[in-house]
Structure 1
């Protein structure tokens, strides 16, 4: 399981770097085209928006797996080690349940609905279901990470 965890982390890290690099190049190209040519390309703003959405949602799933997400753990750190492990495991189960219901099921319904209706993005004419597909995918990642972290014995 640890090898799968490391492999998934490496793939996601590379993918996040690529998305971020694409976002930087896109925004830089938009700024330069406005300054040099006096007008920008029609797709750059939309591409930046979708890249930022993917970067944010996939990055949140990745950080959840690394246990680097935002947390208010003041009271948690006051507990004894045994109770702290119990509470952290309950938190992992709650996060997995949230990811299943909201991200996988809800996000899956969103993807299905937008693909079924044939909704396209305005400038690039990409099916919006492909853009929204990052939500259930990230939900599955959060579930995987939650069960991986639950099964670990050190916290």
Structure 2
């Protein structure tokens, strides 16, 4: 369990750092694009393609982060009135759904990214498949976080549970 905790924490740090860098870069690129359009009445051809690329990556990393932090949309009005046995069943079903969606993202996302490798992104001149490679990456992350939740490394509050004892994040 300690090895999985180290792996999970390392993945979390990498995702957070990549997201911060990409979001910052996206803001800078869009700011540059707007400045160029307003001041010089021209817009660089690569700016829109790069901002869309970064937006997709940040968005899909955000999806996997949402599953990790359990901040995805849920209907808690009904869940809160369930008895504890039904809450456990619903939590298990939710986790299995997350893993299932992760499998779909991984399988079909990888096929989609590979099929898009022959077409280049306009303005960036890189294969479009790189833009869509985030879909299977997000799927793998969803599967990983679902398995972590399934093996009860985390309780409902997101605290670590190792050998029955809680540990802070």
TM-score interval for Structure 1 and Structure 2 normalised by the shorter chain = over 0.9
Q: How does 1:1-155 map to 2 (within 5 A)?
A: 1-101=4-104, 103-115=105-117, 118-152=118-152, 154-155=155-156
Once the two structures are TM-superposed, the CA of residue 10 in structure 1 deviates from its matched residue by: 1.0
Structure with the largest fraction of helix: 1
**Which whole-Å deviations, capped at 9, do the CAs of 1:56-81 have from their partners, x for residues lacking one?**
11111111111111111211111122
Aligned-partner Cα distance in 1 for 2:63–2:149: 15
Aligned-partner Cα distance in 1 for 2:22–2:72: 20
* TM-score, normalised relative to structure 1: 0.92
Once the two structures are TM-superposed, the CA of residue 3 in structure 1 deviates from its matched residue by: 2.1
RMSD: 1.3
Stretches of structure 2 lacking an aligned partner (at least 5 in a row)? 157-169
Aligned-partner Cα distance in 2 for 1:2–1:82: 27
- Corresponding residue pairs, total: 152
Identify the structure with bigger relative contact order (alpha carbons < 8 Å, sequence gap 6+).
1
